[in-house]
Structure 1
Amino acid sequence: MDELTQRLVVHYKPLIVSFVFLTLLADLFMGLFLLRWKKEGFNPFGYFVVIPFSWWELLAVCLFLFSGILLGVSAGLSIFSILLIILLVRLHGYNLSEYFGASLFNPLKIAVLSFWICLSAYLPLQMLAGLSETIGKALHLPVPRQPAVDLFLHASKPIDIAIILSLILVAAPIGEELLFRGFLYQFLRYHFSRSKAIVISGLVFALLHIHWITFLPLFIFGMILATVYEFSGCLILSMAVHFWFNGFTACLLLLAKYG
């Protein structure tokens, strides 16, 4: 248990207990829902539309991303990569409303469903990250914090904190879902089976975060996001799940920093 977790447990024990209870309740209802879904074979969501992205298109997007990393201007080129993906979608003849799945859910349903999915998964994934950290310490391995977390905890100016929070809550859910689910998963789904696409996209998602402690939970989270996208056909829904996940983390960091 690291210093931040200890501080949260000591000062916010009732809040932590309530969160654990809500998670167990959400997991119970999620299990019952999945059992019914499997038993009755009904489809309560939309249908996934596969866009036939080519290997050349994959190469073009990767070049933008890795050029940004090498040149140290990853933010700017990441934006261009997102614009390139949207352009490729339009060139394949799909309108953006269809691509994002905007017509499949209304905002209230997206907010409630995404919160439920995230609540079901968040605590187990955090416990898995904690287990990885404990094993790392037992083996005397370096256990650094994620760069974004470290940056946030050391930020002192309100403007810096606001910028970091906007990156965590807005830029990351939108940008990463467009890249990893809206493009990479689409590409893999066209060229491989559904199960392989889910696993490979989750693996790449975890690897590119370059943080070994959270590799396994991020790998599972990436597969959850791909599964949500696959069975809903709604990219906005996977963005919303990602938003809640980052939002829970941001709330815990705010409590640890200012509580």
Structure 2
Amino acid sequence: MSLPPDSQSHDPPWGPAATVAWTLTALLVGVLVATGFYAIWAGDEVRPGSTMSDGVLIAFGTFISTPVQLGIVIFAAQLRRWPPADYLGLVSPRRVEMMIALGFIIALNLVFDGILYAAGREVVPTFQVEAWRTAVDAGWLPWLLLAIIVVAPVGEEVVFRGFLYRGLAKPGWEVHAIGAIALAWALLHIQYDWLGMAQIFLAGLVLGWFRWASGSTLLTIAMHILINLQSMIETWIKMEYFS
């Protein structure tokens, strides 16, 4: 399944320190811009439940911050005189890779749900329940679903498994890069408890391995979308039939 390493026919990618700096800049600027736009949009009206688990805030923030973050990493790639698609690994995977990835995602979701069930924990975390409820109350559920299932996976994969991976995965250091990126990605999801973050870390390792093996961030985007889709389907089942 492995493909040759990504082509280095262009200027060298950003080094690890510069790559981390660009990534942090993209994430921080995205959050700041989204916060500013949300403050302007909301005005003096204080929404009940406007916390980290507020579905409207999640959707709004994702729609605003993601394009900003993508714009910054694309700009950084162009500064190295790379076509952004090549730098970020936005190349089509092979059909067999897509089939294997699908099997991995199904197995991964089953294992995660089994771990939660065996530990006596709720399969659907409280954060997702509250996000769903507040989005429904505000009439924002379709936008929340679009943000979580499509927009967030695209943004996170391009920034983490695309841009960050390109700068950290030097020859011989791919395994270290996969682990470091998975850890950083898990720590970004502070809305979950330690078990949820551990699951995200393990999922990040799987996504990172497929990024290395296929050379395609498009493949990890598709895998991430499937993970979030399954999560939202489980939330829908809980809210509609077990609430």
Q: TM-score, normalised by structure 1?
A: 0.68
Say if 2:34 is the partner of 1:46: no
1:129 Cα offset (Å): 4.4
Could you tell me which amino acid in structure 2 is paired with residue 227 of structure 1? W
Contact 1:53–1:190 under 8 Å retained in 2: no
1:166 Cα offset (Å): 0.2
How far apart are the structure 1 equivalents of 2:207 and 2:200? 10
Q: Which residues in structure 2 correspond to 1:9-20 (within 5 Å)?
A: none
Q: Which residues in structure 2 correspond to 1:122-137 (within 5 Å)?
A: 122-130=109-117, 134=121
Contact 1:129–1:217 under 8 Å retained in 2: no
Say if 2:225 is the partner of 1:243: yes
1:254 Cα offset (Å): 1.4
User: Which one of the candidate residues 78, 84, 95 is aligned to 2:83?
Assistant: 95
1:256 Cα offset (Å): 1.7
Q: TM-score, normalised by structure 2?
A: 0.72
How far apart are the structure 2 equivalents of 1:146 and 1:183? 32
RMSD: 3.0
Say if 2:3 is the partner of 1:59: no
State percent identity of aligned pairs.
21
Q: Which residues in structure 2 correspond to 1:163-174 (within 5 Å)?
A: 163-174=143-154
Distance 1:67 1:91, change over 3 A: closer
Q: Secondary structure at the match of 2:140?
A: helix
Count of residue pairs the alignment pairs up: 206
Q: Secondary structure at the match of 2:169?
A: helix
The runs of 5 or more residues in structure 1 that have no matched partner are 1-43, 138-143
The runs of 5 or more residues in structure 2 that have no matched partner are 37-60
Instruction: State the Cα deviation string for residues 102-153 of structure 1 (Å, max 9, x = none).
Output: 34436xx56544322210211112333456675xx9xxxxxx9353442113
Which residue of 2 is the match for residue 220 of structure 1?
202
Contact 2:169–2:177 under 8 Å retained in 1: yes
Could you tell me which amino acid in structure 2 is paired with residue 60 of structure 1? W
Q: Which residues in structure 2 correspond to 1:37-186 (within 5 Å)?
A: 44-49=1-6, 52-54=13-15, 55-69=17-31, 72-73=35-36, 75=62, 76-98=64-86, 99-105=88-94, 112-130=99-117, 134=121, 145=125, 147-157=127-137, 159-186=139-166
Which residue of 1 is the match for residue 55 of structure 2?
none
How far apart are the structure 2 equivalents of 1:128 and 1:215? 13
How far apart are the structure 1 equivalents of 2:110 and 2:148? 18
How far apart are the structure 1 equivalents of 2:100 and 2:181? 22
